[in-house]
Amino acid sequence: MRGLKDKVIIITGAGQGIGRATAIRFAQEEARVVIAEVNESTGQSVADEIVATGREVLFTPMDVTQRESIQNMVSVVLKRFGRIDVLVNNAGIIQDKTLKKMTDGEFDRVIQVNLRGTYSCTQEVAAVMREQQSGVILNATSVVALYGNFGQTNYVASKSGVIGMTKVWARELGKDGIRVNAVAPGFIETDMVKNIPEKVKTKMIKKVPLQRIGKPEDVAAVYCFLASDDASYINGAVISVDGGVVV
């Protein structure tokens, strides 16, 4: 895609699933990929996978819930590459319970990672992008933020908040040459989905007009498009990648 060659792309939570697929896709587009991952084993594994293809990659351990960890990551990236062109706020967790059974700790933990983590990473990286007068910030939300989902009070609250922040930042940062958009994946084949009983999977697939589970690569392709020059006039948008579940 136009304009991605040699761009510096930070992807949080890139050790598996959609984050891994996104890192590999950006590397295929000849971007310089930064894997910011709390799990050092999976993060390094993805980095090694990209190195084996001959592309440039940097793995740096980072915890999105710790401001100092984020600041250290930004410092390491700037020392290595001198700039940051794209931030993909992909890191996220789930701790599902019904409202009746959810604890304060479970609610707070999901908010801390999914919502606060996105806010903290963006605040640190946006400061760099403002100085450059250019950049792209891409946030991971979810289709459940658009219609709710049983047993996901904390997750839906966090992902709905991400949509709100995306729209605010698109307004605030546009004058600095920074575009901010969100991607809302639907039912995607990740490790979390693998643990769902087949009967439940079949039921969920029936709700998808395209009648199939999405692949992490489907989401990665949209991130690449939104980061590219082809999307230069898209700002403040929420793009669903869900096979038509939300129409």
Catalytically active residues, by annotation: 155
Name the burial class of residue 166, with classes exposed (0-12), middle (13-18) and buried (19+) by CB atoms within 10 angstroms of its CB. buried
The rounded distance, in Å, linking the Cα atoms of 216 and 237 is 20
Give, for 167, the enclosing helix (H) or strand (E). Answer: helix 153-173
3-state secondary structure 85-119: CEEEECCCCCCCECCCCCCHHHHHHHHHHHHHHHH
Tokens representing 169 are 């930042």
Q: Are strands 86-89 and 238-241 parallel, antiparallel or unpaired?
A: unpaired
If phi > 0 it is left, if psi is from -120 to 50 it is alpha, else beta; for residue 211 that is left
The rounded distance, in Å, linking the Cα atoms of 1 and 221 is 10
